[in-house]
Structure 1
Amino acid sequence: MLNYEQAIKDGIEALDKGDELTVTLLHDLHETLLTGVPDHRVDTDTIGAYKTTPNHLGDYLPAVPDAVDGLMDALLTYYRTGGSYHDLVDIAMFHYQFETIHPYGDGNGRLGRLLITLQLHDTGYLERPNLYLSEYFNRNKATYVDRMEAVRTRGDWEAWLSFFIEGVAQQAEESVTRTLALDDLRHHYEDEYGGVQYTKHQLACNLFEQPYVTTKTVADMFDVERSTAYRAITELEAEGVLEEVTGTGRTNEYRAKEIFEILEQPPQTY
């Protein structure tokens, strides 16, 4: 998850400073997403570059490696030149085409979903990256696959576009609900922990900007000893603010428990 958050941050920073969606940016994001991921979760040796061997999606054979450069150049040029339709339609078409090309050896799904968020930000629909279609796609995975396949086999664009845009609408409504809940939690943390310079208090108030932490990241963030950072983490864990998610001992990774309870709560609007 830290990789995904960093890739989102890097992508938005690049777009905000005037960079465009280019092959170089995609490669950089792909490298960020897959670097340091355990070997059993990465099915390619080619990270930060297009695939060099063919891959498969069930019975479907995506573009062969030699065709990827040309297809991706055409897709990125289409997007950068403004497309031909409404922005949401163009983003939906881009996502379909990206996943159909399947340009990387692994990580296409993760990068493809991340690109939706970046494009929604780039076209002015998101001020902050707080709308993730991954949840909608995962919850409706069978329909997602069926609608994509229907475009490939029957040219049924209407069903795919309707599915995609409905997802944007539903996630936007849910995002508003969750944003209000997060604002309430932020105010609670500010009342509970704000105004005190102890590392624990500073960390609690900073979790909305960095919801995943380790002893090292906390030590670096507040320029304190690792023992101090570890004590702050364990105290917040005991208070139900943090929860351990992976690792052993002081290499553990922790996440903001109450924040993710809001982010991961079952949809309320549909």
Structure 2
Amino acid sequence: MITTTTLGESVQAFVPHPLPPDTPPLQPDAYGAANRAAELALARLNGVAGLVPSEDWLLYGAVRKEALLTSQIEGTQATLDDLFDNEAGLEVSNADDVEEVTNYLRAFRFVHDNLRSESGLPVSLRLICDAHRLLLDGVRGAGKQPGELRRSQNWIGGTRPGNAVFVPPPPERVAALLTDLERFIHAENSDLPPLVKVALVHAQFETIHPFLDGNGRMGRLLISTLMEHWQLMQAPLLYISGYLKQHQVEYYRRLSGTRTEGDWESWIAFFLDGVAVAAAQAEHTIVDLATLIANDRRRLLESPKAGAIAYRLFESLPMMPRFTVEQVKQRLTTTYPTANAAVKALSDLGIVTEMTGQRKNRSFGYQAYIALLSR
């Protein structure tokens, strides 16, 4: 702790030691079993994902689910239906919330595109700041220095720094702390398991709280970033924010324990349990989605009324679960009557459902697919 002055009052700000914790050092016996269980769950998830014909539609759903859940932790009320409606060009009632989720998707894609490109940025302060700029672009927090490290003191909980639950490091310490964090990420001599390092980095980032807004979402984006960086996942199919949202009070309590009690082991064990649960849930969802799509595909192939355009439309559904006939026409580069006939073929089979009940301006949904994703 160090004493700093902000808004005219002296407060105790917390400045974390560089990673890994060494006073006292970590006790691997406290989380070793949980780490093995989490690694096994990730291996199973990677294996199941490899059996699916298209990784693209898996990613489409998983990334949107993570975007939605991580935003809901911060109070956003948007749903998957809202997000799919917005992508279909349909009107949504909570457009501001949907835009925040969409911004997270942009930041997510930016980070993972960089990691996969030979000329892209590595995991670094610059990458994080560039992603943060996309996250806050044009939404709540847009006036809070998007893409820039904070230049003023922030705090968590309470109405002012003096009665805050937690006061992060002073702004002049932030850059050096993040440099230490970046050095830990790229250190080659660490004998810590990769998942344990992910847990450490997330907690350290949240403790530093380097931005005026968006720290929680950026810290959770860092989890999926490091999963890919350390080759724990072949693709970002894990939506751990669902577990963190379900156990939100415990999530914050365990993070706080690393600062107030130096209890890193309890946080690591909690995080590893979350990875194992989230991986198992993602595995089950993939199996159920693949089963649904296979069964619906078989029904479509057995239908004498379905033509080639209907087959092509069906294969597009996992990445276009809400749509209009006009969108089908454009996506499949066909005529409106042909697109309409394809939609009717799927509708007659009960694969897609008309959502408006109107004769004009109709929209359709692959509702069984959306329901599985929304579980």
Same fold (TM over 0.5): yes
Q: Does the aligned pair in 2 maintain the 1:43–1:105 contact within 8 Å?
A: no
1:32 aligned onto 2:130: no
Q: Residue 73 of structure 1 aligns to which amino acid in structure 2?
A: T
Q: Does the aligned pair in 1 maintain the 2:123–2:229 contact within 8 Å?
A: no
Aligned-residue offset at 1:197: 5.9
Q: Residue 50 of structure 1 aligns to which amino acid in structure 2?
A: L
Aligned-residue offset at 1:188: 4.1
Alignment of 1:9-24 (within 5 A): 9-18=109-118, 19=120, 20-24=122-126
Bigger Cα Rg: 2
Q: Which residue, 161, 167, 171 being the options, matches 2:268?
A: 161
Aligned-residue offset at 1:229: 9.5
Give secondary structure in 1 for the equivalent of 2:155. Answer: coil
1:261 aligned onto 2:371: yes
Residue equivalent to 1:57:
156
The gaps in structure 2 that reach 5 residues or longer are 1-100, 158-163, 356-360
Alignment of 1:183-222 (within 5 A): 183-191=290-298, 198=309, 202=312, 204-209=314-319
Q: Does the aligned pair in 1 maintain the 2:296–2:351 contact within 8 Å?
A: no
The gaps in structure 1 that reach 5 residues or longer are 245-249, 266-270
Q: Which residue, 95, 103, 108 being the options, matches 1:8?
A: 108
Aligned-residue offset at 1:87: 0.5
Alignment of 1:49-88 (within 5 A): 49-58=148-157, 59=164, 60-82=166-188, 84=190, 85-88=192-195
Aligned-residue offset at 1:167: 0.7
Query: Quick one: structure 1 residues 230 and 129, their matched pair in 2 at CA, closer, same or farther if it must change by over 3 Å?
Result: farther
Instruction: Using the aligned pairs only, state the percent identity.
Output: 30
Provide TM-score, normalisation by structure 1.
0.76
CA deviations on 1:151-175 (whole Å, 9 max, x unpaired) are 1001011110100111111111111
CA deviations on 1:80-115 (whole Å, 9 max, x unpaired) are 224731101110000000011111111111111111
Give secondary structure in 2 for the equivalent of 1:46. Answer: coil
Residue equivalent to 2:236:
129
Query: Quick one: structure 1 residues 53 and 130, their matched pair in 2 at CA, closer, same or farther if it must change by over 3 Å?
Result: same
Matched length: 255
Q: Which residue, 287, 296, 301 being the options, matches 1:180?
A: 287
Which range moves more in the overlay, 140-149 or 113-122? Answer: 113-122
Query: Quick one: structure 1 residues 22 and 62, their matched pair in 2 at CA, closer, same or farther if it must change by over 3 Å?
Result: same
Query: Quick one: structure 1 residues 225 and 173, their matched pair in 2 at CA, closer, same or farther if it must change by over 3 Å?
Result: same
Q: Does the aligned pair in 2 maintain the 1:96–1:148 contact within 8 Å?
A: yes
Query: Quick one: structure 1 residues 43 and 31, their matched pair in 2 at CA, closer, same or farther if it must change by over 3 Å?
Result: closer
Query: Quick one: structure 1 residues 185 and 153, their matched pair in 2 at CA, closer, same or farther if it must change by over 3 Å?
Result: same
**Whole-Å separation in 1 of the counterparts to 2:150 and 2:347:** 42
**Whole-Å separation in 1 of the counterparts to 2:107 and 2:252:** 25
Which range moves more in the overlay, 107-116 or 12-21? Answer: 12-21
Residue equivalent to 2:146:
47
Query: Quick one: structure 1 residues 174 and 69, their matched pair in 2 at CA, closer, same or farther if it must change by over 3 Å?
Result: same
Residue equivalent to 2:69:
none
**Whole-Å separation in 1 of the counterparts to 2:287 and 2:239:** 16
Aligned-residue offset at 1:214: 9.1
Q: Does the aligned pair in 2 maintain the 1:44–1:106 contact within 8 Å?
A: no
Residue equivalent to 1:247:
none
Q: Does the aligned pair in 1 maintain the 2:136–2:142 contact within 8 Å?
A: no
Q: Does the aligned pair in 2 maintain the 1:204–1:241 contact within 8 Å?
A: no
Query: Quick one: structure 1 residues 79 and 218, their matched pair in 2 at CA, closer, same or farther if it must change by over 3 Å?
Result: farther
Residue equivalent to 2:256:
149
**TM-align CA RMSD:** 3.7
**Whole-Å separation in 2 of the counterparts to 1:116 and 1:123:** 11
Q: Residue 88 of structure 1 aligns to which amino acid in structure 2?
A: L
By relative contact order (CA 8 Å, sep 6+), the higher-ranking structure is 2
**Whole-Å separation in 2 of the counterparts to 1:54 and 1:237:** 56
Aligned-residue offset at 1:52: 2.9
**Whole-Å separation in 1 of the counterparts to 2:146 and 2:326:** 26
Query: Quick one: structure 1 residues 81 and 224, their matched pair in 2 at CA, closer, same or farther if it must change by over 3 Å?
Result: farther
CA deviations on 1:231-268 (whole Å, 9 max, x unpaired) are 99999999785898xxxxx9x9x986433422331xxx
Query: Quick one: structure 1 residues 207 and 129, their matched pair in 2 at CA, closer, same or farther if it must change by over 3 Å?
Result: farther
Give secondary structure in 2 for the equivalent of 1:172. Answer: helix
